[in-house]
Amino acid sequence: MGQFLIPEEEWSTGEKKKFQSTLWDASSMKNTLDDAAKTIFVDGFKYKESHRLIDGRLAISLLACSCAAFALVWDYLNPFPQSRPVLIACVAAYYVVTCVLTAHMVWWEKNIFMRAYQSDPAGLDPDSVWTLSSNLPRYTTDYTITVQFKDGSTGSLNEVSITKPMSVWYDGTGLLLQSQYEPEIRKLHDQLISKKKD
């Protein structure tokens, strides 16, 4: 039990944190790997997670849906010929908002699935930022995870990544193997910590 950051009961047998994925579903296995890496950083290393990126996406989606809902309600209250200008405005607005959403996902979020803040123990320097992103191209099983570290005091940006076929980390039932995965993630983390000290 002593060698892992996340207690074994939480990883494999606990109710909530079971890292079980659906065996032949690539997106499920990728999501499981992402979730596990996130857990290691947030619960294991105890960094504070930032929800800015996903909140941005939620807000834009909500805006788009409210345009659609507004159009629906207005059209119901004022039948078609009268509601024409409002409908045109809503459809145009919806189109613009969905373009903004796509832009947000492509340029702002990229493949990032977690951002966390590590506060300085001395309380003097601004927080350092850990960013995790991952990539799984279509029709391959090679999963790439990239850890990026931005030092709070110097502002320097460093990143390391590792690419492996997903089968290395999973057992036959689709359960993520803590003994294989957690040490790899910790190695990436420690590499960046030691780079910072240089």
Partner 1 sequence: KMLGSILSLICFDDMKRLNVRQLIYQVLNFAMVVSSALMMWKGLIVMTGSESPIVVVLSGSMEPAFHRGDLLFLTNFQDVPIRVGDITVFRIEHREIPIVHRVIKVHETSNGTIKFLTKGDNNRVDDRGLYAQGQYWLEKKDVLGRARGFVPYVGIFTILMNDFPQLKFAVLGLLGFFVLLHRE
Angle, helix 178-197 to helix 26-39, in steps of 10 degrees: 50
| Only segment of 3-11, 57-65, 115-123, 189-197 that touches partner 1 (CB under 8 A) | 57-65
The yes or no reply on residue 16 touching partner 1 (CB under 8 A) is yes
- Residue 90 touching partner 1 (CB under 8 A): yes
Q: How far is 149 from 116, CA to CA, in rounded Å? A: 10
Are the CB atoms for 24 and 17 separated by under 8 Å?
A: no
Contact between 12 and partner 1 per CB under 8 A: no
Phi/psi at 182 (5° precision): -60, -45
145 contributes a contact to partner 1 by CB under 8 A = no
Give me the least distance between CB of 21 and partner 1, in Å please: 6
Task: For the chain, state the CA radius of gyration.
Answer: 22
Distances from the Cα of 45 to the Cαs of 21, 65, 118, 145, 189, in angstroms?
Answer: 24, 37, 9, 18, 10
Q: What is the C-alpha separation between 116 and 98, in angstroms, rounded? A: 27
CB of 158 to partner 1, least distance (A): 28
Complex with partner 1: residue 75 or 184, whichever CB lies closer: 75
Q: Total residues contacting partner 1 (rule CB under 8 A)? A: 39
* Angle between helices 52-77 and 80-103 in degrees, nearest 10: 170
Q: Does 174 bind partner 1 (CB under 8 A)?
A: yes
DSSP 138: T
Which residue number, 87 or 129, has a Cβ lying nearer to partner 1?
87
CA-to-CA distance for 189 and 142, rounded, in angstroms?
20
> Does 82 contact partner 1 by CB under 8 A?
no
Least distance (Å) between residue 90 CB and partner 1: 7
Q: Does 158 bind partner 1 (CB under 8 A)?
A: no
Residues of this chain that bind partner 1 (CB under 8 A): 16-22, 25, 27-28, 31-32, 35, 51, 54-55, 57-58, 61-62, 64-65, 67-69, 71-72, 75, 79-80, 84, 87-88, 90-91, 94-95, 98, 174
